[in-house]
Structure 1
Amino acid sequence: MKQQEARPKPDPVDARLGDRLAELRAERGWSLGELAERSGVSKSTLSRAERAETSPTASLLNRLCAVYGRTMSQLLSEVEAAPARVVRAADQQVWEDPAAGFVRRSVSPPHAALRGELVEGRLAPGADIAYDRPPVPGLEQHLWILEGELDVTDGETEHHLTVGDCLRMRVWGATRFRCAGPRAARYVLAVVLP
C-alpha cells in the first residue's frame, strides 16, 4: 500500500488569513466565481488562498482589499487578537511576500476608532511591486525613506526617492514601488483613511 505524503501545515498567519478571506466572501454571499469576477483573480488562486494552500502575494491581497473596502493593515489586523494600544516590536505583525522581495511590518495596529496607521516596508534590490488600484480610493499615504532608494509611480508620475525624502500622495489609481538601487530599501508608510 502506497503511503500518502503528509501536506505541510500551513503557516498560522496564512491559515487565519485564509479563514478571514473565506468569511468575508461568505458574509457577502458571493461564490468563488463572483469574487473572481470582482477581483480579477482566478477562482483556483482564490480557493488556494482561502484554504491556506499558498501564501497570498501583496498584489493578490491588494486586489481583495479593494473588493472588500479595507486596507491591507486592516485585513491583517482582523486575523490577530484584539489590537493593543501598545504593540511591542517583538509583537508587531510581519508579513512577507518572498517571491516579490517584500517584507511588511505593521508598526501601529489599525483601530476602528482611528484613521491612521504606520507600516514599515522593506524591498529587496530589484523588487518591483505594482498595484492596479488602491484598497480604498483616495487613501492618503506619506512615504518616508529610511534606507536605500525607491522609485514610486503614482498614476503617470514617477518619483525617485532617496534617504530622508518623503512623498505625500492621495491614491486614486495604480501605483508601483521599485527598488532599483544596489541596496534594499526600507521605509515608513503612514496610511490615513479618507
Structure 2
Amino acid sequence: MGNEREVRATPAPDAVDARLGARLAELRAERGWSLGELAERSGVSRSTLSRAERAEVSPTAALLNRLCHVYGRTMSQLLSEVESGPAPLVRAAEQTVWEDRACGFVRRSVSPPHAGLRGELVEGRLAAGADIAYDRPPVPGLEQHIWVLDGTLEVTAGDVVHRVGTGDCLRLRVWGPTRFRCPGAEDTRYVLAVVLP
C-alpha cells in the first residue's frame, strides 16, 4: 500500500483541504467504491484515504497525483472542482494556491477554474533541493509545456533527464513516471501549461 509520508498532519483543516476532502469522498461514492477498493486501485492505504477525505491530513502532491490517475483528471481539474463557480477572469490575489510543505512545492492555479478545461496554466515553485516523484500521470498522454522563469529544473520523464534553465521550455507527453527536482542552491519558479489529450 501507499506510503504514510504522503500526507502531513495539520492542526485544523483549512477551507481548501476541507472542500478537497469532501470532493474526494464524492468521487469515490459516485463510483460506488469502498475505501478498500480505492486503496487497491490507487496503492494508497485505506487509513490515509479516509483521513484525507475527512480533511484530518493535507494530501501531498504525490498522493493527489495517484488519486487523479484513478479518477482520470488532472490536479488542476480536481482543485477547480472545489472552487466556487467558474469565472472568465481570476485576479492574481484570487488564484488558488496549494502547498505541499513536506516536499517544498507551491502550486498556483493561474487559469480561471473550470471543470471542462482542456488546457490550463499553473505556476510552480520548488524550494532548493525539492524533489517530487510521480509514479504515473494523472491522465495518460497528458501534454506538458514547462517554461522555467527562475532557476533550474530537472525533469525526468521515463528514463530521460532534462535539465531546464531560466528561459528554457520543455514540451513532453507524459505516459509514465515523472520527477521534478530543483537541483540548485536557489528556488525554481516555472510555468506549467497542461493540455489534455
In the superposition, the TM-score normalised over structure 2's length comes to 0.93
* Structural mapping, 1:1-194, within 5 Å: 8-194=11-197
In 1, the alpha carbon distance for the partners of 2:11 and 2:187 equals 31
Return the offset for 1:111: 2.8
Identity of counterpart residues, as a percentage? 80
CA-to-aligned-CA distance 1:103-161 (integer Å, 9 cap, x gap):
00000034345410000000000100000000000000000000011110011100011
Q: Contact 2:87–2:113 at 8 Å: present in 1 too? A: no
Off by >3 Å, runs of 4+ in structure 1: none
> Aligned pair in 2 of structure 1 residues 77, 15: CA closer, same or farther (>3 Å)?
same
In 1, the alpha carbon distance for the partners of 2:73 and 2:112 equals 14
Unmatched runs of 5 consecutive residues or more in structure 2:
1-9
Q: Contact 1:110–1:116 at 8 Å: present in 2 too? A: no
In the superposition, the TM-score normalised over structure 1's length comes to 0.95
Q: Secondary structure at the match of 2:189?
A: strand
Unmatched runs of 5 consecutive residues or more in structure 1:
1-6
1:4 maps to which residue? none
User: How many residues end up aligned between the 2 structures?
Assistant: 188
1:3 maps to which residue? none
In 2, the alpha carbon distance for the partners of 1:42 and 1:161 equals 35
Aligned CA RMSD, in angstroms, stands at: 1.1
